[in-house]
Structure 1
């Protein structure tokens, strides 16, 4: 009876087991069917787009900046050294080339560990499964996701070769310090390419995927070394390396340190301009696109611009005295190391004082000597127009232990410095196509990110006068036309509101030719020209030169440059004179390439083409001509005279005759400008305060801004031949009376040679038409409702 019951029990148990087995099979099948329907398509791995930083380069292929959170440099599998591959296989999946995507033995071992201890243990995940997890699935840790991972891994193995799977893995894996992929990790930790890594360094990188933070060689060097040595042990045990190689690698020290890929060219204002443009074109996804943006700047000219701007604002600062020493001297050298380098000014600690020099210690411990001659400028600052007595020795200024700023001069000597309060801007553009050749928007981008080249609208002062003179020449005036340089009073709309413009030197010269007036920057003659021409024609001319109507006041103060303009606009306007009369459009981005090297954009700027005609090939993108060749030649002649004999005569030190331009100084010396050009480069330099404070007495464009322009042009035009100014057809050279401007015989002494636009002979003014009827009174009043 008992035996029969036992047999019956086992029969029912067998039936229940069979039913359970069938049910489990059905459930498993249905689950797999459902999961299969939910699985992503593995074919999307055929067109993987890695998130790589947006990179900004110079025209000469130097890295300026990177934007994006993930550092990655994708590689192909044949670019991965064999030692590196072996290190990863030893650390992560030694049977990679043998299994079909899933290591079932490893999975069983992990499952058994979970069953016996209740703890999940890493292991059992093949490289293929990690690729599945990283590319196709979320990071959640559930049994369902694990099943999906297994199924997808099997599909991936059916679809892709082992080398392709390994390539995906090596490019995607996170390796700490924001580095994704082996190439980025090699650069981040060692500053090397993959082929330059030692075996020990490859093993260190291969040890990171298990726990990038725990085994980080920067943060946890001891644990990282243990993990590295384990990887080397596995390589030796598997047979990838022999005993001697193994021992040599174990003996190698940890050389890892965070290495930020060296910015090869410092041009942060350029980088920010490019970033904003790319963001405008492509949106925020550009940050991970791997796009390479090539700008129009080059290292020699960009460095020259940065250096010239900094030297100019330092020179201005030194003319007005030493404002301060750094607060309390640091107690220790390490405190100096924590202080920022601002611009070209380095914090330093005075260690020794001799009669003729001071020895100072820079950040990092380096000692340099500062000669007394490079410190004696430090008279105490009192105001913009006053300084204290000159110091007689270094001891009058400092004591040992004081913290100061120093900078290295062009001659490589060190000098006492202070962070300039005044700011500057400089931009140079190619006169033919508008390419920005160099740009510095301020003393230090990290100190103040405001880009004064593009964002600062300032009064251009006398730099606007060439627009008025261009209008005058177009209306029939000549370079020899005489205008009376005499006092003038312009009445406002209300009694007592009068404007009495003055020349800078407050002297009057009487009848003066346009050539001399522009050369000497005569304010009163510019006002009289505007009165005679009218505001509307001058505004129309200015708009042809690229200025906006809202930048141009409907007022006779426009004669003195009371409008607004950015330095970039001024450089563009002066490029018209340089290139033969064409309005070009400044641009910064030359081309854009995708992460895989495909050309996404190529600049096609309009060009100043002197030889182009209506029959020229259509592929020539010609810029519009806005002034005639004759007017252009006359303005060139006048503006070259400014350099040779006028307010910019300092520029003659460059030893060239093909330079031209115009100084600009605004009311109360708030802005100092020089806008100038050679045939190929138009450049504008500006110095001023962001809060519009006065620069101080005698801080004119020629004193504060011209030296910046000169320093840059000296570097930019080195070894560049001069290009002579050749009169075009329609320009004649005539001998005229210097006092009356009338033509006379060349045999009569006392005359001068002058150029004339013969195409305008029919409506050319005589000198007698240029003065108002009451000019003989030497001073007159004009009602002017639009002035105030």
Structure 2
């Protein structure tokens, strides 16, 4: 009997199970193999153009270029991304933990990609029907921020995952976290936690409270949406999420979270120091660095730019400019209200003002609506938002209407109704809060004129302050450096200096009489006149400069020669084009305030021309010195000429047109200065110096209009110069100008003739002369000055 087959003895179900198992095994094998091949191919495809992560080991992001005043105060920052890189050790522990809980609580457990976080985010999104938390790890965010575009696509996410794995392989966790905390964008121009801490809270990352840290940690998902500046309610909601995640992770307690939720945060937009500190100065520095080092260096290389700017002097310049222009503007009268809204439009106008007025205090400038004019009591009631105030007549008497054709044009206001009526919208300044709850107000208007001021330190050329205009926000044009305006009589000292080197002396006599210049080629006749429309006869050169005599200056220029004079003033540093005619004696050519101040500095610096210094040194982000500017000067005129010019310009203050500067002399400081005015009163100048500082002031209209009746350099520019120089010399120990050099002698002369005195001389005075140029002849008898002494008497 044959034994049965083994296969036949096996139950059918077991055979079927084995076949199925084999099929599943091979299917799974080939599926895994296919998937592996597909993944490998995908990996090769998506990774072939990916950048190397090795660059992360030498992290050097674009850095802020910082501008410093001479005392080390930061006055400007230039950047594409405002980022301040700091190590993890300088971040508060709560800040780091807040970011980990909000963005990647399993950061120290995964290898770049966290499937649990992705799953949790998907579930949360399904529950909330919106994306409230992300699934990307911190490492993935680093990969995206450093190497990828922000596009939303599967291809980008795959590349991001590959890079995240490579980053985890190449760097320690702490290094990755350091990159993230310094690179992440947190809104309002802030990159990294240190810049954000300064932006939102005015503090450093190491000093943030838990409440502040949780606000910042809520920003990475959508900085603009959760901005605590623009959307405080949304920022608060996001903060609560961060705190709840921190409680869930066990890094803070419920009590700590509650305390942080209830903490009242002071959040203020970061001050734009570029605008607030010294904008005209730092803008000039910005242009200098940009031209010298290029755009990338300025905005990305973290340059450390040190300047000669003195902030205390700069503040005094701003105050003097604003006061001087306000005074000038008020002298010209009231130009009328900003608009008239009528009685029916008062409430709407008041409400509109209230929308822009936040917690007004003394010195606040705001719009207001006139609601009552009380001529009997001399008061004008004004409403602005929820507040009410009164303008007393005493503070608005300047507000006459400018109309030169009306008699008594300069008579001050007698009653408020002459200037204002109910329904007028005006500009007012808050003075103080009165006991009755009203504000005392002062009527204001924005000045039409512009002004510029530049101050340079005597002896070294360091520019300590610049005001290039009334308000940088309104106009960035730098009138101290970029503008070229006629300098008027401020040019005369250069003609007189040239004359001193041609044999003239302070005692030289020139007869102030009518002078006619005829240009036959151009068929042109010119008759220069003095400002006072009169002639003064025989006049010493010192007196001519003191009183700014036009005719005498033209005669001197004609005598010494135009070509010689042009060559001479070039030595003094005047580089702008200059006309080649006699009108240059009266400042008909245009020059910048910087040029003028630097040329006057030659007299103050004993004949040396210095290079103006704005930037003292520049270093790169690693501290390497790129540039250092030390004071440099070149001898361009003699000690004797410089001394005589200082003496002449001192007289212009003590006995001449610069008389307003005598108040500084009374405080122990000698000053030498000169006014400048153009014939049509379009430009007013005052330039002068003490042993400490050389300062120039210009006042004028951008459109070159008349400044107003009588607004000469003495009236419009000198008060600004005096206010400024008084302030910068306050509490300083007075110094004197250098003593006469060996080549100067002092001689007693006849005060009328400039010659040696005789018994018949009416008065005598001591005068300085260069050796060899002192008078040797005695004065003739009174009234016997010979006609031939006036070698210009017959004209030309």
Same fold (TM over 0.5): yes
Aligned counterpart for 1:606 among listed residues 631, 656, 659:
631
1:619 corresponds to which residue?
A: none
1:158-197 matched pairs, under 5 angstroms: 158-197=169-208
Aligned counterpart for 1:382 among listed residues 390, 403, 410:
403
TM-score under structure 1 normalisation? 0.87
1:565 aligns with 2:591: yes
Q: Tell me, in whole angstroms, the C-alpha distance in 1 between the residues paired with 2:241 and 2:447.
A: 55
Is the 2:505–2:773 Cα contact (8 Å) retained in structure 1?
A: no
Q: Tell me, in whole angstroms, the C-alpha distance in 2 between the residues paired with 1:345 and 1:87.
A: 42
Pair 1:269–1:346, CA change in 2 (3 A): farther
Is the 1:502–1:523 Cα contact (8 Å) retained in structure 2?
A: yes
1:780 aligns with 2:790: no
1:403 aligns with 2:425: yes
Pair 1:486–1:401, CA change in 2 (3 A): same
1:48 corresponds to which residue?
A: 59
1:728 corresponds to which residue?
A: 741
Is the 2:758–2:778 Cα contact (8 Å) retained in structure 1?
A: no
Aligned residues: 759
2:686 corresponds to which residue?
A: 674
1:231-380 matched pairs, under 5 angstroms: 231-252=242-263, 256=267, 258-260=269-271, 265-285=276-296, 286-329=298-341, 331-336=348-353, 346-350=366-370, 355=377, 358=380, 360=382, 370-380=391-401
Pair 1:532–1:344, CA change in 2 (3 A): farther
Deviation at 1:93, TM superposition (A): 1.6
Matched residue SS, 1:38:
coil
Matched residue SS, 1:249:
helix
Give the RMSD, CA atoms, in angstroms: 3.7
2:604 corresponds to which residue?
A: 578
**Which range is displaced more, 744-753 or 299-308?**
744-753
1:285-684 matched pairs, under 5 angstroms: 285=296, 286-329=298-341, 331-336=348-353, 346-350=366-370, 355=377, 358=380, 360=382, 370-383=391-404, 387=409, 389-399=411-421, 401-407=423-429, 415-493=442-520, 497-548=524-575, 551-594=577-620, 596=621, 598-607=623-632, 623-654=633-664, 655=666, 656=668, 658-684=670-696
Deviations 1:23-44 (A, max 9, x none): 4334433443555543322221
**Which range is displaced more, 297-306 or 204-213?**
204-213
1:151 aligns with 2:165: no
Q: Tell me, in whole angstroms, the C-alpha distance in 1 between the residues paired with 2:440 and 2:236.
A: 45
Pair 1:361–1:645, CA change in 2 (3 A): farther
Deviation at 1:338, TM superposition (A): 6.8
Matched residue SS, 1:453:
coil
Pair 1:257–1:557, CA change in 2 (3 A): closer
Q: Tell me, in whole angstroms, the C-alpha distance in 1 between the residues paired with 2:776 and 2:164.
A: 87
Matched residue SS, 2:516:
strand
Is the 1:431–1:584 Cα contact (8 Å) retained in structure 2?
A: no
Question: Which structure's CA Rg is the greater one?
Answer: 2
Is the 1:294–1:591 Cα contact (8 Å) retained in structure 2?
A: yes
Aligned counterpart for 1:686 among listed residues 698, 715, 733:
698
Q: Tell me, in whole angstroms, the C-alpha distance in 1 between the residues paired with 2:748 and 2:268.
A: 75
Q: Tell me, in whole angstroms, the C-alpha distance in 1 between the residues paired with 2:45 and 2:219.
A: 35
Matched residue SS, 2:454:
strand
Is the 2:756–2:776 Cα contact (8 Å) retained in structure 1?
A: no
Deviation at 1:144, TM superposition (A): 4.2
Q: Which has the higher contact order (CA 8 A, sep 6+)?
A: 1
1:719 corresponds to which residue?
A: 731
Q: Tell me, in whole angstroms, the C-alpha distance in 1 between the residues paired with 2:615 and 2:430.
A: 32
TM-score under structure 2 normalisation? 0.86
Matched residue SS, 2:767:
strand
**Which range is displaced more, 451-460 or 113-122?**
113-122
1:738 aligns with 2:751: yes
Deviation at 1:183, TM superposition (A): 2.4
Matched residue SS, 1:695:
coil
Q: Tell me, in whole angstroms, the C-alpha distance in 2 between the residues paired with 1:114 and 1:351.
A: 57
Is the 2:757–2:779 Cα contact (8 Å) retained in structure 1?
A: no
1:75 aligns with 2:89: no
Deviation at 1:598, TM superposition (A): 2.2
Deviations 1:175-212 (A, max 9, x none): 23333222233333333333443322222221222333
2:50 corresponds to which residue?
A: 39
Deviation at 1:350, TM superposition (A): 4.3
Is the 1:90–1:231 Cα contact (8 Å) retained in structure 2?
A: yes
Is the 1:291–1:592 Cα contact (8 Å) retained in structure 2?
A: yes
Q: Tell me, in whole angstroms, the C-alpha distance in 2 between the residues paired with 1:642 and 1:628.
A: 21
Deviations 1:557-596 (A, max 9, x none): 11211122111111111111111111112232233344x4
1:77-226 matched pairs, under 5 angstroms: 77-107=88-118, 123-226=134-237
Is the 2:756–2:777 Cα contact (8 Å) retained in structure 1?
A: no
**Which range is displaced more, 120-129 or 201-210?**
120-129
Is the 2:401–2:419 Cα contact (8 Å) retained in structure 1?
A: no
Pair 1:112–1:32, CA change in 2 (3 A): farther
**Which range is displaced more, 118-127 or 93-102?**
118-127
Matched residue SS, 1:573:
helix
Q: Tell me, in whole angstroms, the C-alpha distance in 2 between the residues paired with 1:729 and 1:384.
A: 59
Deviation at 1:627, TM superposition (A): 0.8
Q: Tell me, in whole angstroms, the C-alpha distance in 1 between the residues paired with 2:626 and 2:373.
A: 58
Deviation at 1:265, TM superposition (A): 4.3
Deviations 1:423-478 (A, max 9, x none): 21111112222222111111222223322111221111111111111111111111
Deviation at 1:359, TM superposition (A): 5.7
Deviations 1:112-131 (A, max 9, x none): 99999999996442212221
1:785 corresponds to which residue?
A: none
Deviation at 1:11, TM superposition (A): 5.3
Is the 1:320–1:383 Cα contact (8 Å) retained in structure 2?
A: no
**Which range is displaced more, 296-305 or 146-155?**
146-155
Is the 1:642–1:661 Cα contact (8 Å) retained in structure 2?
A: yes
Is the 2:76–2:273 Cα contact (8 Å) retained in structure 1?
A: no
Pair 1:247–1:699, CA change in 2 (3 A): closer
Q: Tell me, in whole angstroms, the C-alpha distance in 1 between the residues paired with 2:123 and 2:247.
A: 28
